[in-house]
């Protein structure tokens, strides 16, 4: 059996991007603005952004919850997938990140359908649950990995039958295969994978994602 060819994997990722993700000035400027503001370079890839967009479209989502905004790159993809009356509520811990995101979202022409809420995601989620906020059609988790299991549990209180739940960075270049990972992010991802697999409310799978390394996006639907 041939071994995994990392260079080939990157070439395939670029090949797909070339075919299906032509240059988009708003998204390119989003990344540049984030870089200039010295935000962490941990946004989803263009191909994964397109995947999020398509999943939201396929799901017919009108209300989207995103946990982890950063510079608003994935937020832009999700907002573009919504109908004119659609709404994305995105949760961001850092005020600076939120300001960059708001600017990027306005520049991309989707700021009117996105609300950025600043604060600890767990606190924001609990407030939303306590206030009986309307359920979401799609929920995307892409924040600190140590909090993933709690985010998933709280997100389920804001879902309905048929809600699609996505969580990013769950393979960690294969390190989730370690029996006792030392890295906190790997431990969080591994715990989330096990929680997804064991949850009787969900039907789930993890889709491998190729970029500079191998990662994974979980796709779940609430029964």
User: What secondary structure does DSSP assign to 2-22, as a single string?
Assistant: PPP-HHHHHHHHHHHHHHH--
User: Which tens digits make up the pLDDT trace of 145-166?
Assistant: 999 999 999 999 999 999 999 9
Integer Cα distance of 82 and 73 in angstroms = 15
Q: Is the pLDDT of residue 6 over 60?
A: yes
pLDDT tens figures, 90-117 = 999 999 999 999 999 999 999 999 999 9
Residue 5 is predicted with a pLDDT of 76
7 has a pLDDT exceeding 90: no
* The pLDDT of residue 1: 39
Q: Residue 3 — pLDDT band, cuts 50, 70, 90?
A: low
Q: Given this model, what pLDDT does residue 133 score?
A: 98
pLDDT band at 214 (very low <50, low <70, confident <90, very high): confident
Rounded to whole angstroms, how far apart are CA atoms 126 and 158? Answer: 10
More confident residue, 5 or 197: 197
Report the top-level CATH class of 6-222: alpha beta
Q: Is it the case that residue 4 has pLDDT exceeding 70?
A: no
Q: Report the side by side order of strands in the sheet with 63-67.
A: 114-118, 87-92, 63-67, 136-141, 159-167, 214-222, 202-210
Structure pTM? 0.96
HSE, CB side, 13 Å, CA atoms: give it for residue 188.
18
**Residue 32 CB contacts under 8 Å (≥ 6 apart), including other chains:** none
Q: What angle do CA 128, 133, 139 make, to 5 degrees?
A: 75
> Which residue in the block uniquely carries the two structure tokens 């907002």?
79
The closest of 160, 75, 154, 84 to 117, measured between CA atoms, is 75
């Amino acid at each position: 059996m041939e071994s995994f060819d990392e260079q080939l994997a990157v070439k395939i990722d670029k090949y797909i991007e070339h075919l299906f993700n032509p240059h988009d000035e708003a998204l390119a400027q989003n990344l540049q603005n984030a870089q200039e503001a010295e935000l962490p370079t941990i946004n989803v890839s263009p191909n994964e952004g397109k995947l999020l967009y398509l999943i939201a479209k396929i799901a017919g989502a009108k209300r989207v919850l995103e946990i982890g905004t950063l510079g608003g790159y994935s937020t832009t993809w999700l907002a573009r997938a919504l109908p004119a009356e659609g709404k994305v509520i995105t949760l961001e811990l850092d005020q600076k990140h939120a300001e960059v995101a708001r600017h990027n979202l306005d520049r991309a022409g989707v700021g009117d359908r996105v609300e950025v809420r600043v604060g600890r995601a767990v606190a924001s989620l609990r407030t939303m649950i306590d206030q009986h906020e309307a359920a979401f059609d799609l929920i995307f988790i892409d924040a600190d990995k140590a909090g993933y299991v709690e985010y998933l549990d709280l997100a389920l209180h804001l879902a309905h039958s048929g809600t699609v739940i996505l969580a990013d960075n769950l393979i960690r270049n294969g390190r989730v295969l370690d029996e006792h990972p030392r890295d906190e992010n790997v431990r969080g991802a591994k715990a989330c994978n096990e929680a997804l697999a064991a949850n009787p409310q969900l039907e789930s799978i993890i889709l491998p994602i190729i970029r500079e390394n191998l990662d994974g996006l979980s796709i779940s639907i609430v029964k």
